[in-house]
Amino acid sequence: MKKTAFITGASSGIGRATAVALAKADFQLVVTGRRRERLEALAAELAPTPVHILTFDVRDRTAVDAAVAGLPAEFGHVDVLINNAGNAHGLSPIQEGDVADWDAMMDGNVKGLLYVSRAALPRMGEGGFIVNIGSIAGHEAYANGNVYCASKAAVNMLTRTMRIDLLPKGIRVAEVAPGMVETEFSEVRFKGDEEKAANVYKGVQPLRAEDVADLIQFMVTRPPHVQIAEVIIFPAAQAAAATVRRQQ
Ligand code: NDP
Ligand code: 8X3
Give the domain extent around 205.
Answer: 4-244
**148 annotated active-site:** yes
Report d(CA 45, CA 39) in Å as an integer: 10
Give the ligand 2 atom nearest the CA of 200. Answer: 4
156 ligand 2 Cβ < 6 A:
no
- Strand 207-208 relative to strand 181-182, pairing: parallel
User: By three-state DSSP, how is residue 237 classified?
Assistant: coil
Note the pLDDT of residue 64. Answer: 99
Report d(CA 7, CA 83) in Å as an integer: 6
Q: Which residues are within 8 A (CB) of 139 and not within 5 positions of it... i.e. 6 or more apart? A: 152, 153, 156, 177, 232, 241
User: Pick from 236, 184, 190: which is nearest to 211 by CA?
Assistant: 236
14 ligand 2 Cβ < 6 A:
no
Note the pLDDT of residue 248. Answer: 79
Report d(CA 60, CA 37) in Å as an integer: 20
The per-residue pLDDT string of the chain (248 residues; one tens digit each, 9 = 90 and over) reads 999 999 999 999 999 999 999 999 999 999 999 999 999 999 999 999 999 999 999 999 999 999 999 999 999 999 999 999 999 999 999 999 999 999 999 999 999 999 999 999 999 999 999 999 999 999 999 999 999 999 999 999 999 999 999 999 999 999 999 999 999 999 999 999 999 999 999 999 999 999 999 999 999 999 999 999 999 999 999 999 999 999 97
Distance from the alpha carbon of residue 56 to the mean position of ligand 2, in angstroms: 24
Q: Which ligand number lies closest to the CA of residue 134? A: 1
- Active-site entry in 115, 142, 148, 201: 148
241 ligand 2 Cβ < 6 A:
yes
- CA angle at residue 210 from 198 to 182, to 5 degrees? 10
Other CB atoms within 10 A of residue 133 CB: 27
CATH number at residue 233: 3.40.50.720
Note the pLDDT of residue 242. Answer: 97
Report d(CA 92, CA 145) in Å as an integer: 7
238 ligand 1 Cβ < 6 A:
no
User: Pick from 2, 21, 4: which is nearest to 176 by CA?
Assistant: 21
DSSP state of 188: H
User: What total of structural domains would you count in the chain?
Assistant: 1
Distance from the alpha carbon of residue 87 to the mean position of ligand 2, in angstroms: 9
Give the mutation target among 12, 139, 151, 180 for probing the ligand 2 site: most ligand atoms within 8 A of CB. 180
Other CB atoms within 10 A of residue 202 CB: 10
- CA angle at residue 239 from 132 to 90, to 5 degrees? 60
Give the mutation target among 11, 14, 159 for probing the ligand 1 site: most ligand atoms within 8 A of CB. 14
